[in-house]
A and B are shown apart, each in its own frame.
Chain A
């Protein structure tokens, strides 16, 4: 199993540009998440999904959009990039079923995004 994979690893965007951060998991997990990590701030939840076709906002959703057309993929879209979106973005997944391990999250390696 590859686990959770993210592309690209690094990206530099100009203000106002758009891009999609890709996330794929091969563990057949129901739940998927997008976080951003800023220095000294821990992780903030952007969006999450409890299954294909279902998404919901997290703590900091403004400026982002998501979709979940399959169990495996959960892309994050930035429409009009702003300097405040400079961050490291992590995708994660979890089984989302009752029982041991249900609440564990498995993280991808992250995408380092700079907006200038």
Chain B
């Protein structure tokens, strides 16, 4: 059974810090790896999608990397801001319809 783990479960940092969120998955036969953001009581918003043939993707201050062989992905957030406070979830995608989500990392960026 595919399992996705995210560490840490929660993270609190002062504004301006660079930070790394971790995601690991048990089955390396993924189609792609996706990172989402979820604000309290809201739906998910897609941040980055890394295809299985890619090593990383960047969008603004966000950079996500993928190492299929080790079953790991990281989300790097540069120069964090209070508006980045949210829960970040990763999803390992094994076919078009099977998205396996981690339980998320709850990020708090203090002003």
Are A and B a genuine interacting pair, yes or no?
no
B-side interface residues toward A, CB under 8 Å?
A: none
